[in-house]
Amino acid sequence: MAVKLDGKKLSIKLTNDLQVETKTLKNQGIIPKLAVILVGDDPASRVYVRNKHRMAEKIGIESLDLRLAKDTSEAELLEKIALLNNDPTINGILVQLPLPDQINADRITKTISPKKDVDGFHPYNLGRLFVNDPYAIPCTPNGIMYLLREYGISVDRKNVVIVGRSKIVGRPLAALMLNQNATVTVAHSHTKNLSEITRQADILVAAVGRVNFIQAQDVKPGAIVIDVGINRNAAGKLVGDVEQTEVGQVAGYLTPVPGGVGPMTIAMLMKQTIEFAKWSKQEK
């Protein structure tokens, strides 16, 4: 039976540590502040934004909640971001995705100041990550690396297979793994003989957004399996990209869904906001 990589438990510990750090910073006159912009009324996005504000409040981070109508123009959103970029009290800016069709998400990402880009999606920050000089790191990959470290799992000399090549998870995670001396294969929808490749992985990461995409026969016995997927199955239950029951009989370690990678993502968002606040003070 696989050992559960409990992101929920670890995120609680990290949250407690961040509460202490935030209190210390406030005593020094440093008040971390995060601005979150939600365009439209997507139900899932509303839940994600609410959870982020609740976590910020719990830790002691000030949060600015900006809600914009679904028909907001790209120009209007860019204007809001420009104001936040120039506001010295704002340390982090997050625009909740997905955005309505009339708004180009890439253009929005590039407009956020790299020094306030808590998501770590700006090309400048992704470039720094790939040359092993990171500033902001995408929160889900950062959370995965933190989770592995806390469980004493080194990626050095490991064969890592990441299924999924998004700018949010797959690509930045590959860079983080390479920076720590792993041998990395990034697989995707055009990869041939995928199961043969995944069975070679010491660490297998599934980030494709498809219910139970990874089955037991795709996993090397004893492998460390990271399930990044957040999906709803036919019954409406929250499940990942990994078939948890049977894979749990084969893998050595496995992140559950829910309670694995998800809680770490929000915790790392808060941690990065605090880091930005400290760096901003140092630069003055």
The per-type count for the chain, helices as H runs and strands as E runs, is 10, 11
CATH at residue 58: 3.40.50.10860
In a domain, 59, yes or no: yes
pLDDT tens, position by position, 241-252 = 999 999 999 999
* Domain encompassing residue 152: 139-262
In a domain, 197, yes or no: yes
In a domain, 232, yes or no: yes
- On whether both 150 and 219 belong to a single domain, the answer is yes
In a domain, 51, yes or no: yes
3-class SS letters over 222-275: CCEEEECCCEECCCCCEECCECHHHHHHHCCEECCCCCCHHHHHHHHHHHHHHH
Does 113 belong to an annotated binding site?
no
96 is catalytic: yes
Does 165 belong to an annotated binding site?
yes
In a domain, 192, yes or no: yes
Give φ, ψ of 107 to 5 degrees: -65, -40
Domains of the chain: total: 2
pLDDT tens, position by position, 134-158 = 999 999 999 999 999 999 999 999 9
pLDDT tens, position by position, 156-196 = 999 999 999 999 999 999 999 999 999 999 999 999 999 99
- On whether both 143 and 250 belong to a single domain, the answer is yes
In a domain, 273, yes or no: no
In a domain, 160, yes or no: yes
Q: Is the pTM of this model over 0.75?
A: yes
- On whether both 76 and 170 belong to a single domain, the answer is no
SS3 call for 24 = helix
272 is catalytic: no
- On whether both 82 and 197 belong to a single domain, the answer is no
In a domain, 149, yes or no: yes
65 is catalytic: no
Query: Of the residues 33, 80, 96, 220, which is catalytic?
Result: 96
Does 92 belong to an annotated binding site?
no
Is the distance from CB of 174 to CB of 186 less than 8 angstroms?
A: yes
